[in-house]
Structures are given as structure tokens and as C-alpha cells.
Chains A and B, each alone.
Chain A
């Protein structure tokens, strides 16, 4: 079905389409099986998506969601099983092939070009786009799509200027513009604040009602799923463990089905008597790479044994804040003190010597060097220390011993201290980085997305270690996009929105709803 918007905004024709297709099976996958070596990633998975309903696929990390998605949009070929579109058997050799059949994919990592405008991204590569660009015509069509599904996005803004939520919408629009009528979304809720999630799911519901099949794949945020989706298929360890209508389900039944046991994953909050303020930040202003103020007048302090959690949707100034504190980004205005010493403009090493510890977001680009051995990677935080550099010569025995100790204490799976960092999994690498930083016994720890992308076991391990650091009197700044993590670990929670705090609340008073609204900028507490 061509999805040009002309004439289709007509109420009656939409109504007729809905009538015609109610309950019709749009996409059916039967017995999909995929093996990687001895691992069976998908084991005879059945999935039936009907027109007019919003059907979510749920599952934990490693349940086989990613593999199933990649098969559905043609990036992988199944070992067994068939896919039917409107009752017709189809085989995809590539994502392009799948798109020709009307299957569009919205990835978790953005597939957009930041330097181009939203509109340019949408029309890129479409055969309809003539040799000479006719942006006005394209804009009309895309605007029509926006109106139809209730999307609001500035089409002539460069993509780098957009929020994460807007970027996701641009991707959805791109797929629709290129003729997708089955839309697979990978974790569409992960980059959004709670109110944005609701808005997105409302739009998706509208799309589902109009003969488009929309399949979000979701790990977290069960309550919203219950509220907005009509039907869910739940995967666990590569198999379908349940398929049900959401009106028959509760959050508990979903969670139980996903995990396979009744679980209440709660870290025990550790209460330690708070000590003196270690870090004090006053009226901090920091620019981002584009020269715009990404941090606008932030003030806070963190005391010994306290975790301050920064809750916020990605791109609201968290990165520049962390970088400015770590000395990697100049401070335009304001002061930072560590143990009452002004370090606002201190070089990086002076900060580390005074007790800073920093776990950066980008593990493989900033936190480690993939080609270096683990010993050399540990040295990143030690090369300037007298015990590790005598007369300008590296004390390699010392470094090796320390590395071995970290590997042991953090139960890192690695070939040994001389293994290159690139041979480690994300979780193990993060353990090495964490171990390296914490072994310095920092007075002030900055942890940026410490568990992002880790499996459950590794994530829990990392969180435990952060709590241990807190217990030993470290002041911790925890930056995370996972609201659950923030709520579980922090003593106080600061919500950040467009470079400003919309509120700082003690953990005892913080609810998910309150913090969610604060980080969406819908509400402001006195800071």
C-alpha cells in the first residue's frame, strides 16, 4: 500500500480500512529458529500480529528479542521457520529487501545523520526524491504523516539539535515515508521520559488502528505496556513462554513470565551516616561541543558516603557536567571544590591526585584502549603515581600485580593481565575499569551509565561495588538513564532537564512519577 498521504486523511476511507482489516493477520512468523554455534538464540518462535492492535514483544536481555528482530527485518536468515505477510510466504535477503516488502525497523541506536536536517534524513535515498531536491513537496507529505499520527517535530532543524525522542520520531517518519507498513521498534521507550513514552505509545496505537502493524520490543516499563498495548508475546531464553491480551495480565504476571520466577529485584539500600561535604559545585556553566551552554548554572554538594543520582533523558547536559567535573571540559563560569580546594580549572591529573575517580560512559573509546593489554589499561589511572613510575620508568611488576588483583577481586573473565582489552566482553571490561578506579580509593566518584548495556549479573555486581564505595565514605555522583537504577542506589536524586536541575529530592520522597515528571521538565521543585 503506498503511503502517500493524499486523500487518505479522509475520515471515511480510514474508517472503511479499519472495518475491512479488523482482526486480519498482517504478519505471521512460524517456528523461527536460529542457532549461533551451539547456542539456540530463537527456538521455534511463533508470532502473530493482527491489524488494528498494538502488539508488544517482551523479554529480558538475552531472551532472543534482538535475534528475532534481525530475522524479521532481513538482517539475519532463520535456520528454520517461515514468515508470512498478509498470508504470503516471504523471504528476506537483506534489510532493503524487507523494506521492499513493507517492513521498517527503528533501531535503538539512531540511524540518522546528525549534520542533515530531519527532512533530508527522511527523504534520503527514496526513489521518489528527484535528481534536484524538491524539499517543499517532500515537506508537505511528511507533514501530512505527522498530522495523521500526532507527531510534532521540526523538519528543518538539524538532527543534532533534536532531542532523543524527536530523533526517534524522525526515524519512524523515515520508515513510513519509505513505505513501511509493518514497523518494528527496538526499545522505543528507553530514551524517553515517562510522559514522552505515553505520547509515543498513543501515536503508535493510532498507527496500529490504521492498518499498520506496529511491534515494539520492550525490556522494561511494564506498566505503560499494560496500559497501551493490546497484546504481548513474551520471550524467555529464546522461546515464546506466553502470548496474552494485556487486559488479562498484571505487571506481576508479565514480570514473572519474563524472568521465570517471582522476583522483586531490589538492592538493599545501605544507610551510612553522612560525613562532611566532599564536593561542592556552585553555579556551574559548561559549553558542549557546539559551543552551546549544555550545563546552565548547576549547584549541588555531595557528602561523604552519599550518592547523588542525576536522573534525566540522554542529552540534557549529563555528559558535559561529568566531563567538566573530571577536567575534560572547560568551565565557563562557576566553581567546583573538592575537599574545600578549588579545582574548577585544575588539570586532570591534579584532580585524580586529590581523589577524583571517573568512570566514563564510553568504555571502549575513553575508558580503555582496545589494543592495549589490561596492565596498560590499568596504568591509565596510575602512570602518574610515584610507585608506578620510578625515574620515569614504568614499574611493570607493580602494575601487573595490581591488574591481577583487580581481575581476582572483580571476578573478571579474561585470558590474563596481558590480554588485550578488546578481547573482553562489555561487562568484564567495565569491571576492570571500575576496579581500576575504585582501587585508588577515590574521595569523589563520578559514575556515568555504569551498567548501561551490561547483563543482569554484571550490572548487579557493578551496583554492589558502587554501594561498597559509598559505605567506605566516597561521595558518589551517579549519572544514569535508567530511572530504576537511580531510585535504587541514590540517597538524593537530582532531575536534570536542558542543563538545569528541575528538582533535587531525597530518596525517601522520590517516586517514579515525581522524578519522571521532573526529568521531562513538566514540573519544577525548588532547587
Chain B
């Protein structure tokens, strides 16, 4: 595209190759512009957005109460992002984090329930035995629930986006069944809430944060290594780049898609275990459990902004964990309507797509030369080959 204004020519061209700073800049801009746009919501109720944001930062990253909350929320988001990233490396979309998270959470609480944890918060149970069992049950349940979508995709080519969405809704109602109206996991005190995990079954903490935080950070490194260096990682990437080449190379489509969804479900399951069985102050399935399902979609956008890179996802998750929590805090303080963090989620997502697309274009302003330069024609064979996925 070219536009001529007076002596100047503005050229908009598609870049052949994206450098890392293009994508990084695009991500940063997307975040900044989204925060700017959501600022109007604060403006509407007469608050100064800049002040609001500085309060959010103060609350989320500098306050004694907010910081641990940020870390815990960020870990949840990070694990949900991993749950997106692994299948997406194979070209498949996992938007079933809410379902997988609650499959895992129910399994973890199921183990506790089986050992009689519902009796009382103070019941003394052998945690060194039951905690690992709960942990493993959570991972297994997440993996199995995730694997359903992967298997159906691989074996029957049922669209995984639709399946994972259906599985989310099914699981949300199953949770309702478990914790409401006399459901087996219903707490003794409050209606519509799960029972509280006895103190003896809570995951130990190190330096004031639950063990799962460290596990998540280690997983970022482990997943990066797994995808880059292992044979299985290679097969996943191969399938993601070209299912036909993968088939040629003897890589079984059903196995790969089941595997990546099992892994994704496992990681989402870990997020569920983390938030409901390890984060201090929670230790139960709360009344507004559906909110946390929605919150896991921050993982989706984190994975996309980090461009499928587990390590790059860490800072993004920390930012979103903090800002979303801080926004909720300010929402209460300013008496805003519910859902300011949802609005941010939506705006972020669309801005991220816009800026990542725009990163492909370069804009140059040139002063028109007196003599038109001959245009260099490319041979057809050299023209840009783009292979959009799907």
C-alpha cells in the first residue's frame, strides 16, 4: 500500500520476517493500550485513571496483603497458560481450562472427602500420605478430562474448540451438583459452598507461598526444555507445523492430540489444585467458583501474548494476576459495577490480536525522490510464502 501526501510517500508494507523486538513491542503496546481504554471506565465514575492504576500497582505489588494474592493469582494464570501452550504447539486449541480445573479440584477434594475430611476443619489426618494423593488425583483427573477432547479430535476429528467448551459447561454444573443443595461436598456452614479443607491436608508453604508456586516456575523451564529437546516435544512441534508432514514421518495424530490435551488438562488441573487446595485463605470450592473458571481465560491470553513461550509467560502472568486482582479491589473501592476485570480481559484480547497483526506491517515515510526509482520486482518463486494455520 502506498499513499502520497505532498512530497511525502507513506509506504505500508508487510514484513517478511518478524524479529523478537517487533513481537515484544506489539505485546507491550497491546497491554498499554488496553489499560488506557479500560481507564475510561474509571473516568466515568469520576476517578483519575492514572491514580487508579497507581493504586492498583500499590495494592497488587507493594502491599502486604496484595502481593501474596498477586503471586497466587499469577501462578493460577501461568498454569492455565501452560494448559493452552502445550496443545497449541501441536496446533490445537484448548479452551477447556475451567472444566479441567474443576475436574482436578473435585478429584482432590474427593480424596480428602474419602478420608473423612468433611467432618471438621480440625480433624487430624495423615497429611504426608493424603496430600500427595490429592495432588496426584488432581493431576490425573485434569489429564483425563483434557484427554477426552484430544482423543475425540484425533480419532473422530470433532472440533476441539467446541468440545472443550461443552466440557466446561458440563463440569460447571457437576460442581454445582457437588457443592449445592445437599451435594456430597457441600460445606456444613454455608449454603452453596464446598467444605473447607482440614488444616492437616493443606499444602505446606515455603517462604510464605505454597509449594505449587515453585512447581509452576520449574515447569516453565521444564516445558521449554521438553518442547525443544525431547523426542516427544519434537513430534508435538512437527504435528503443529504440518499434520501432513507429521503423518509422513509416522507420527500418530490421535496419539499426539490425546497426549497434548492430557498434558494441557494436567497443567490446568495443577492450577485447580493450586488455587483451591494450596492457596492460603481459600482451601475450598467457593460460592462464586464459576468466576475462577472465567479467570483461567487470562491464561489463554497470557499464552498468546507470550507467543507460546512458557518462560515469557511468567512476567505476563504476574502482570495480569496483579492487575486483575487490583482492578477487582478498586472496583469495590470505587463502587464500580461488577466485572471490570472481565472488561479488561476482553479488551486485552482484541488489542493483542490487533497489535500482533499490525507488527507484520512496517510503515515508512519517505520524501519523494525527483526521479521515480525503478521498482525491484521479485520473481514469483521468491514472493513471500505464508502458511496460515487451519
B-binding residues in A (CB < 8 A): 36-37, 70, 76, 79, 326-328, 347-349, 352, 358, 360, 362, 365-372, 376, 379-381, 383-384, 389, 392-394, 396, 422
Contact with A along B247-272 (1 / 0, CB 8 A): 11110100000000000000000000
A366-B244, A380-B238, A422-B385 given as contacts; is B231 within 8 A of A352 (CB)?
no
Within the complex, what minimum Cβ distance (angstroms) separates B64 from chain A? 44
Closest-CB distance, A367 to chain B (whole angstroms): 7
Complex contact B230–A369 (CB within 8 A): no
When distances are taken between beta carbons in the complex, the residues of chain A under 8 Å from B250 are: 327, 347-349, 352, 384
* Least distance between A146 CB and chain B CB atoms (Å): 32
Q: Which 5 residue pairs are nearest across A and B when measured between Cβ atoms?
A: A348-B250, A349-B250, A380-B249, A389-B231, A369-B241
Query: Residue A365 contacts which of B231, B238, B242, B379 (CB distance < 8 angstroms)?
Result: B242
17 sample A-B contacts, Cβ–Cβ < 8 Å, listed by A number: A347-B250, A358-B248, A365-B244, A366-B242, A367-B248, A369-B241, A370-B387, A376-B238, A380-B238, A383-B231, A383-B235, A383-B249, A392-B230, A392-B231, A394-B231, A394-B234, A422-B385
17 further A-B contacts with Cβ under 8 Å, apart from A380-B245, A393-B230, are A70-B380, A76-B377, A326-B248, A347-B250, A348-B247, A362-B244, A365-B244, A366-B245, A366-B247, A366-B248, A367-B245, A369-B238, A369-B245, A370-B387, A383-B238, A394-B230, A394-B231
| Complex: A367 Cα to B247 Cα, angstroms | 10
On whether the beta carbons of B234 and A328 are closer than 8 Å, the reply is no
In the bound complex, CA of A384 to CA of B255 (Å): 15
Chain B 213-250 per-residue mask, 1 if CB under 8 angstroms from chain A, else 0: 00000000000000001111011011001101101111
A365-B242, A365-B245, A367-B245 as given contacts; A376 in contact with B234, CB under 8 Å: yes
Complex CA gap A367/B245 in Å reads 6
Question: Quick check: is B3 within 8 A (CB to CB) of the other chain?
Answer: no
| Distance between A165 CB and nearest chain B CB, rounded to angstroms | 25
How far, in whole Å, are A349 and B235 apart by their CA atoms in the complex?
Answer: 13
Q: Is the CB of A36 within 8 A of B379?
A: yes
Query: Interface range on chain B: under 10, 10 to 19, 20 to 34, or 35 or more?
Result: 20 to 34
Residue of A nearest to B252 (CB): A347
Complex Cα distance, B229 from A366, in Å, reads 23
Q: How many A-B residue pairs have CB under 8 A?
A: 69
Distance between B357 CB and nearest chain A CB, rounded to angstroms: 19
Residues on B facing A (Cβ under 8 Å) = 229-232, 234-235, 237-238, 241-242, 244-245, 247-250, 252, 374, 376-377, 379-380, 385, 387
Main SS at interface, chain B? helix
State whether A383 and B252 are in contact (beta carbons under 8 Å apart), knowing that A36-B377, A366-B244 are contacts in the complex. no
How far is the CB of A187 from the nearest CB of chain B, in Å?
Answer: 15
- Chain A's closest residue to B244 (CB) is A366
A141 and B230 alpha carbons, distance in the complex (Å) = 63
Residues of B within 8 A of A368 (CB): 245
Which of B229, B248, B377 interacts with A380 by CB under 8 Å? B248
Q: Which residues of A contact B237 (CB under 8 A)?
A: 372
Chain A CB within 10 Å, residue with most, of B232, B234, B238: B234
Which residue of chain B is the closest to A422 with respect to CB atoms?
A: B385
A369 B242 Cβ-Cβ under 8 A: yes
Q: B376 and A37: CB pair below 8 A? A: yes
Give the Cβ gap from B54 to chain A, nearest Cβ, in Å.
Answer: 43
Given contacts A347-B252, A369-B242, A370-B387, contact A393 B247 (CB under 8 A): no
Give the CA-CA distance A360 to B379 in the complex, in Å: 26
Residues of B within 8 A of A369 (CB): 238, 241-242, 245
Q: Would you give the shortest CB distance from B331 to chain A, in whole angstroms?
A: 43
Contact A383 B245 (CB under 8 A): no
Q: A275 to nearest B CB, angstroms?
A: 27
How far, in angstroms, from A498 to B349 measured CA to CA in the complex?
52
What is the bound-complex CA distance between A367 and B249, given in angstroms? Answer: 9
Nearest B residue to A381 by beta-carbon distance?
B249
Q: Tell me, in angstroms, the Cα distance from A327 to B251 when the chains sit together.
A: 12
Q: Which residue of A lies closest to B233 (CB)?
A: A394
Q: B245 to chain A: closest CB distance in Å? A: 5
Contact indicator B247/A372 (Cβ below 8 Å)? no
In contact, A370 and B385 (Cβ under 8 angstroms): yes
Q: Quick one: which of B242, B250, B380, B387 has the most chain A CB within 10 A?
A: B250
Cβ distance A300 to chain B, nearest Cβ, rounded Å: 23
Distance in Å: Cβ of A23 to nearest Cβ of chain B = 36
In the assembled complex, the Cα of A349 lies from the Cα of B247 at a distance in Å of 10
How far does the alpha carbon of A352 sit from the alpha carbon of B235 in the complex, in Å? 16
Q: Which of B229, B245, B249 contacts A393 (CB 8 A)?
A: B229
Task: With both chains docked as a complex, state the minimum distance between the C-beta of B32 and any C-beta of chain A, in angstroms.
Answer: 30
Nearest chain B residue, comparing its CB with the CB of A67: B379
Query: How far is the CB of B199 from the nearest CB of chain A, in Å?
Result: 40
A292–B347 CA distance with the chains assembled, in angstroms: 49
Residues of A contacting B380 with CB < 8 Å?
A: 70
- How far does the alpha carbon of A347 sit from the alpha carbon of B387 in the complex, in Å? 28
A376 to B230 CA separation, bound complex (whole angstroms): 12
In angstroms, Cα B380 to Cα A348, docked, is 35
User: With A36-B379, A383-B231, A392-B230 in contact, is A360–B385 under 8 Å at CB?
Assistant: no
Which chain B positions have C-beta within 8 A of A379? 234
**Contact at B229–A394, with CB atoms within 8 Å?**
yes
- Smallest distance from the beta carbon of B15 to chain A beta carbons, Å? 15
- Shortest A485–chain B CB gap in Å is 22
**Chain A residues with CB under 8 A of B252:** 347
Contacts of A383 on B, CB cut-off 8 Å? 231, 234-235, 238, 249
What is the chain A residue whose CB lies nearest that of B228? A394
- Report the Cα distance A348→B229, complex, angstroms: 23
For A37, list chain B residues within 8 Å (CB): 376
Residues of A within 8 A of B238 (CB): 369, 372, 376, 380, 383
